[in-house]
């Protein structure tokens, strides 16, 4: 069944944290910017257009949901609950920080039908956490994950690569620790320098160098492959190319690309095919139609790289994810394994 999010973007103006990459504004006297009336209007508007025979979740994004007051959390959740009871919506998903999860909060979220909680873990390296002004110890992440899983709520983990003090080795070590936590889903975000952040100040003062696009792809494809090979569903790679990010002057530096995941996929297939070409003289390829674009790469870059040695055809009998090269069939895991 097709899945749809009904996105509700709530800022948390009262957030006491000042993570270096965040540009969330502080507004005195206001907790957030979405009223209860706004929330109901957003849900009703989406329900008018989304297919009735589909899975729908209200998704609270944009802020630290469990960082707002318990009363306001409950007010929001109480608005959504009748839609769940009527079967119009199948659940609620939200994003928050690991240090904003406890028994009391989990009881509230469970009561109102929350189905997925995504934790903005970002890194599990102590020095990286300190340099990004996320001062909780590593064990806080493990405890939050345990509480979520114990409540039978789907666990999501968000990681960021290329943060201050992060290296390839540190980012991969974080990925390995995330795998141990066994989340249901994950997101991978390359660090961008957004205006009006502490990171922007560090960047302008030459105290932080963001990853180049090539460096970010190289680092991401390894972590992405690790997650997929360990059964973690990676639901996003790279930030959503919103109007804010596209607006000139908002992104000061870093590896922003509107099709970042496609770039990563293309490089994974390039590496896989390049290794085959080391022992064979040609790449005679058959793929499922749905795999064609990621094997060829964005702007057909892989076809251009391999030139006349690259021959590709659609084979409708091949399963999605499988690829046949020079008469040998490989699984999706075979392709990913090459990155590790």
CATH homologous superfamily for 3-258?
Aldolase class I (3.20.20.70)
Match 């795998």 to its residue by tokens: 179
Secondary structure (DSSP) of 104-159:
HHHHHHHHTTEEEEEEEEE---HHHHHHTT----HHHHHHHHHHHHHTT-EEEEEE
Q: Is the dihedral of CA 139, 95, 245, 35 positive or negative?
A: negative
Sheet bearing 3-9, strands edge to edge: 3-9, 55-61, 91-96, 114-122, 154-161, 185-190, 233-237
pLDDT per residue over 292-325, tens digit each?
999 999 999 999 999 999 999 999 999 999 999 9
Cβ-based neighbour number of residue 300 at 10 Å: 12
**pTM assigned to the model:** 0.92
- How far apart, in whole angstroms, are the C-alpha atoms of residue 74 and residue 83? 15
pLDDT per residue over 231-241, tens digit each?
999 999 998 77
Q: Indicate the burial class of 70 (C-beta count within 10 angstroms; 0-12, 13-18, 19 or more).
A: exposed
Domain regions of the chain by residue span? 3-258, 265-337
Match 């909680």 to its residue by tokens: 117
Query: What are the pLDDT tens digits along the chain (340 aa)?
Result: 889 999 998 876 556 667 888 876 543 445 568 899 999 999 999 999 999 889 999 999 877 899 888 999 999 999 999 999 999 999 999 999 999 999 999 999 999 999 999 999 999 999 999 999 888 889 999 999 999 999 999 999 999 999 999 999 999 999 999 999 999 999 999 999 988 889 999 999 999 999 999 999 999 999 999 999 999 999 999 987 765 666 777 889 999 999 999 999 999 999 999 999 999 999 999 999 999 999 999 999 999 999 999 999 999 999 999 999 999 999 999 999 987 7
Three-class SS of residue 172? helix
Q: What is the phi-psi region of residue 177: left when phi exceeds 0, alpha when psi lies from -120 to 50, beta otherwise?
A: alpha
pLDDT per residue over 216-258, tens digit each?
999 999 999 999 999 999 999 998 776 566 677 788 999 999 9
Going by C-alpha positions, the residue among 208, 27, 64 that lies closest to residue 132 is: 208
Going by C-alpha positions, the residue among 223, 222, 220 that lies closest to residue 238 is: 220
Going by C-alpha positions, the residue among 317, 323, 319 that lies closest to residue 335 is: 323
Contacting residues for 232 by C-beta, under 8 A, at least 6 apart: 178, 179, 182, 183, 184, 185, 186
Going by C-alpha positions, the residue among 318, 328, 310, 209 that lies closest to residue 269 is: 310
Three-class SS of residue 94? strand
Contacting residues for 147 by C-beta, under 8 A, at least 6 apart: 101, 102, 103, 106
- How far apart, in whole angstroms, are the C-alpha atoms of residue 17 and residue 25? 11
For residue 29, what is the DSSP state?
Answer: T
Going by C-alpha positions, the residue among 241, 237, 187, 242 that lies closest to residue 216 is: 237
Match 């009561």 to its residue by tokens: 111
* Enclosing H/E stretch for 198: helix 198-204
Strands 193-194 and 233-237: unpaired
From the centroid of its chain, how far is CA 33? 24
Cβ-based neighbour number of residue 210 at 10 Å: 22
Q: Tokens for 89, please give them.
A: 């919506």
């Amino acid at each position: 069944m097709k899945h749809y999010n009904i996105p509700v973007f709530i800022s948390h103006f009262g957030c006491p944290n000042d993570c270096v990459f965040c540009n969330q504004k502080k507004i005195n006297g206001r907790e957030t910017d979405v009223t209860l009336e706004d929330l109901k209007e957003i849900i009703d508007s989406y329900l008018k257009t989304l297919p009735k025979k589909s899975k729908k979740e209200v998704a609270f994004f944009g802020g630290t949901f469990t960082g707002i007051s318990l009363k306001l959390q409950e007010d929001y959740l109480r608005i959504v609950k009748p839609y769940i009871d009527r079967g119009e919506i199948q659940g609620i998903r939200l994003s928050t920080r690991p240090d904003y999860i406890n028994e009391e909060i989990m009881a509230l979220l469970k009561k109102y039908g929350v189905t997925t909680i995504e934790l903005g873990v970002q890194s599990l390296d102590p020095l990286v956490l300190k340099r990004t002004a996320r001062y909780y110890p590593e064990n806080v992440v493990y405890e939050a994950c345990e509480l979520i899983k114990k409540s039978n709520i789907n666990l999501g983990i968000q990681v960021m690569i290329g943060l201050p003090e992060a290296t390839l080795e540190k980012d991969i070590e974080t990925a390995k620790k995330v795998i141990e936590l066994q989340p249901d889903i994950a997101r991978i975000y390359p660090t961008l320098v957004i205006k009006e952040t502490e990171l922007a100040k560090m960047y302008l003062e030459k105290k932080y160098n963001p990853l180049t696009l090539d460096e970010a792809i190289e680092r991401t494809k390894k972590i992405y492959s690790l997650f997929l090979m360990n059964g973690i569903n990676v639901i996003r790679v790279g930030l959503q190319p919103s109007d804010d990010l596209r607006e000139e002057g908002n992104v000061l530096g870093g590896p922003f690309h509107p099709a970042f995941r496609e770039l990563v996929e293309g490089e994974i297939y390039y590496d896989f095919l390049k290794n085959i070409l080391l022992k064979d003289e040609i790449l005679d390829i058959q793929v499922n139609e749905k795999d064609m674009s990621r094997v060829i790469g964005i702007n057909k870059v892989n076809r251009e790289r391999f030139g006349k040695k690259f021959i590709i055809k659609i084979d409708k009998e091949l399963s999605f994810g499988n690829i046949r090269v020079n008469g040998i069939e490989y699984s999706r895991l075979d392709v990913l394994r090459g990155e590790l």
